[in-house]
Amino acid sequence: MMDLRSRMREKGPQLIKNGKDFSDNKSLVRDYLSAEELWACTTCNACANECPININHPTLIVDLRRYLVMEESAAPAMLNSIFNNIQNNGAPWQFSPEDRMLWAKDLVLKNNNEEISIDVPVMANVSAQGKKPEYLFW
């Protein structure tokens, strides 16, 4: 927040004086804030809760991250793999839509010496029967 304030104090008066055309060839991200700083935040909201002047820090940080991802295609490697999976599979996992329920195929609950087969309903099947689930695992 202090780096953001510094940038505002530096550039704000020049924008007012020179109008929208002012550029000092500096960028908020990279020159003042590092990408590492932005991605290090866990967005736990503690800073916003404790801020005496009610600044919503996580919103600013998430918007700066969004800029990095959308405008510069600069995201941590772990996120890039998730984005690729979403693009290719329609979900963040590396499984094709046909393979997503394989984890539940032979799901068994063991109770003492008894094994109980568990059927995991799929939302598409439940809604096709005109029912609404009590809980939705998403």
Tokens of 63: 């918007």
**Cα–Cα distance measured from residue 47 to residue 109, given in angstroms and rounded to the nearest whole number:** 43
- Give me the pLDDT at residue 60, please: 92
State the pTM of this model: 0.63
Residue type at position 60 = L
- Residues contacting residue 95 through CB under 8 Å, at least 6 positions apart: 89, 102
pLDDT along the chain (138 residues), means of 10: 86 84 84 91 93 92 93 88 90 85 84 84 90 83
Angle at CA of residue 134, ends 131 and 102, nearest 5°: 80
**Cα–Cα distance measured from residue 126 to residue 130, given in angstroms and rounded to the nearest whole number:** 7
- Give me the pLDDT at residue 67, please: 93
